């Protein structure tokens, strides 16, 4: 898994539009990764939130989680299983943000997700909060996807407990 942020969250955009980019690899196929992104049940797990999703152009996504204002988005572009573009808004943001998610197949059971979120203006605090939130979400998505991916093949045996005090 790799992640890249531009500009770094602790730097100013100095008059340019601030944005961040992330690129992560997953151990699930591109269609499976897309399904994890648009499934309400899966998103509730990897986001750790109450989520409603209508993954169609003009459809709405709502994310409610403790400690954050409700986030409401509209799907501007939906190209299954390759691309999602969402305009997001929350009460304390003052402006909408734009997320572009692209999914690339890296083999029959592997994929890569690229995320770009923009629209921050000079709001470095919001950029840092959203960068942290997406980092958290995408790591949880990787864990959820790996768990689901491990169910795909042969039956898995439970790991044996170890004695860590030896």
The pLDDT tens digits along the chain (166 residues) read 444 444 444 434 445 678 999 999 998 999 999 999 999 999 999 999 999 999 999 999 999 999 889 999 999 999 999 999 999 999 989 899 999 999 999 988 899 999 999 999 989 999 999 999 999 999 999 888 777 654 444 333 333 333 434 3
The verdict on residue 105 lying in a domain is yes
CB atoms closer than 10 angstroms to residue 68 = 13
The verdict on residue 5 lying in a domain is no
Contact (CB, 8 A) for 76 and 100: no
Residue 48 to residue 111: CA distance in whole angstroms:
23
What CATH number is attached to the domain comprising 80? 3.30.530.20
Rounded to the nearest 5 degrees, what angle is found at the Cα of 100, between the Cα atoms of 80 and 61?
A: 70
Residue 122 to residue 82: CA distance in whole angstroms:
30
Q: What pTM value is reported for the model?
A: 0.80
The verdict on residue 2 lying in a domain is no
The verdict on residue 45 lying in a domain is yes
The residues with which 21 forms a beta bridge, in sequence order, are 116
Quote the pLDDT of residue 16.
66
The verdict on residue 99 lying in a domain is yes
The verdict on residue 156 lying in a domain is no
The verdict on residue 163 lying in a domain is no
Quote the pLDDT of residue 147.
74
Supply the range of the domain harboring residue 63: 19-150
Domain count, the chain: 1
The verdict on residue 158 lying in a domain is no
């Amino acid at each position: 898994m790799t992640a890249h942020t531009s500009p770094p969250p602790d730097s100013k955009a100095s008059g340019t539009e601030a944005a961040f980019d992330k690129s992560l690899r997953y151990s699930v196929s591109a269609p499976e990764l897309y399904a994890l992104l648009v499934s309400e049940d899966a998103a509730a797990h990897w986001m750790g939130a109450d989520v409603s999703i209508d993954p169609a152009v003009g459809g709405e996504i709502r994310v409610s989680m403790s400690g954050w204002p409700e986030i409401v988005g509209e799907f501007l572009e939906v190209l299954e299983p390759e691309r999602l573009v969402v305009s997001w808004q929350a009460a304390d943001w003052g402006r909408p943000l734009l997320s572009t998610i692209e999914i690339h197949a890296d083999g029959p059971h592997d994929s890569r997700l690229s995320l770009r979120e923009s629209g921050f203006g000079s709001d470095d605090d919001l950029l840092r909060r959203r960068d942290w939130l997406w980092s958290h979400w995408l790591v949880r998505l990787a864990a959820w996807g790996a768990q689901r991916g491990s169910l795909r093949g042969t039956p898995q045996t439970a790991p044996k407990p170890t004695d860590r005090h030896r």
